[in-house]
Amino acid sequence: MVAKSVAAVARRAAVVRRAGAARRAAAVAQPAAVAQPAAAAVVAQPAAEVEERTLLVTFLRETLRLTGTHVGCDTAQCGACTVHLNGRAVKSCSMLAMQAEGADIMTIEGVAKPDGTLHPMQAAFKENHGLQCGFCTPGMVINAIDFAKRHPDASEQEVRESLEGNLCRCTGYHNIVKSIIAGSKAMAAGK
C-alpha cells in the first residue's frame, strides 16, 4: 500500500485537550482545533502518514482523534462530517485526506475559544434547544457558522435552504432554524 505524508494537515492539527464534565456535556461544546485563525492555539504534531485512499473524515477521527466530526452516511448526504476547509464548510466524507494537504481545517473541536467560551453559534444552539441527540449538531454548527458569515441577515427561508444536506433525524428543524438565526445575529453583533 502506498502511503503519503499529510504533513501540512498534521502540522496544523491543534489538539487542545480540555478536562471538565461541563465541557463534554454538549456536542456543541467540545473545544480543540485543527487550525483556524483565532479559533485556538495551534499545537504542532508530527507529520502523519496516510494511505492515498483515506477519507478526510477518517484521517480526522482515527489519526488525529478529533471525533467530534461524525460519520453518518459516507455518501455526503447527511452533513454530520462537515468541517471548515480554508474557512468554507465541506463534507469531509467526500474528499480524500491528501486533498486537504496544505489547507486550514477546523473541526467542531476548534470552534469554542481556548478558554472554553462558546462560539456565538454554539451558544445559540444551546440557548434555543437546537440540538436533540447531538449526532448532527457538530455538522450543523460548522455549516451554520459558514452560512452566517456569508449571510449575516438571512431570512428564515434562506436558513432553511442552507440546511439542505444537513440531516437531523430527531426534529422538525424548528429549533435548529431559530438557533442559526440567533447565532447569525450574535456573530454579526460581534458577541
CATH code of the domain containing 33 = 3.10.20.30
Q: Cβ(183)–Cβ(140) under 8 Å?
A: no
Whether 31 and 9 map to the same domain: the answer is yes
The pTM assigned to this predicted structure is 0.76
Whether 106 and 137 map to the same domain: the answer is no
What's the CATH code of the domain at 148?
1.10.150.120
Whether 19 and 104 map to the same domain: the answer is yes
Domain-embedded: residue 53: yes
Range of the domain at 73: 3-110
Which pLDDT value is given to residue 150?
94
Whether 38 and 14 map to the same domain: the answer is yes
Which pLDDT value is given to residue 47?
59
Pairing mode, strands 33-34 and 49-51: unpaired
Which pLDDT value is given to residue 55?
94
Domain-embedded: residue 115: no
Split into its structural domains, the chain has a count of 2
User: What are 47's three cell numbers?
Assistant: 507529520
Which pLDDT value is given to residue 184?
97
H helix runs in the chain, sequence order: 7-12, 21-24, 56-58, 120-127, 137-150, 156-162, 174-188
Which pLDDT value is given to residue 58?
94
Question: Digits of tens for pLDDT over the chain (191 positions)?
Answer: 333 334 333 333 332 222 222 232 233 333 333 433 333 322 334 456 788 999 999 999 999 999 999 998 878 889 999 999 999 999 999 999 999 988 999 999 999 999 999 999 999 999 999 988 999 999 999 999 999 999 999 999 999 999 998 999 887 799 999 999 999 999 999 87
Whether 101 and 128 map to the same domain: the answer is no
Which pLDDT value is given to residue 78?
92
Domain end position, chosen among 63, 89, 110: 110
Domain-embedded: residue 39: yes
Which pLDDT value is given to residue 102?
87
Q: Which amino acid is residue 60, in one-letter code?
A: L
User: What are 38's three cell numbers?
Assistant: 483565532
Strand stretches in the chain, DSSP E: 3-5, 13-14, 33-34, 49-51, 82-85, 88-91, 105-106
Whether 29 and 85 map to the same domain: the answer is yes
Whether 26 and 101 map to the same domain: the answer is yes
Domain-embedded: residue 14: yes
Domain-embedded: residue 68: yes
Whether 12 and 97 map to the same domain: the answer is yes
User: What are 6's three cell numbers?
Assistant: 499529510
Q: What CA–CA distance (Å, rounded) separates 30 from 18?
A: 8
Length of the chain counted residue by residue: 191
3-state helix, strand, coil split of the chain in percent (to 5) is: 40, 10, 50
Domain end position, chosen among 110, 144, 160: 110
Whether 60 and 132 map to the same domain: the answer is no
Whether 129 and 102 map to the same domain: the answer is no
Whether 139 and 97 map to the same domain: the answer is no
Q: Cβ(2)–Cβ(52) under 8 Å?
A: yes
Whether 160 and 180 map to the same domain: the answer is yes
Q: What CA–CA distance (Å, rounded) separates 91 from 77?
A: 9
Domain end position, chosen among 90, 110, 130: 110
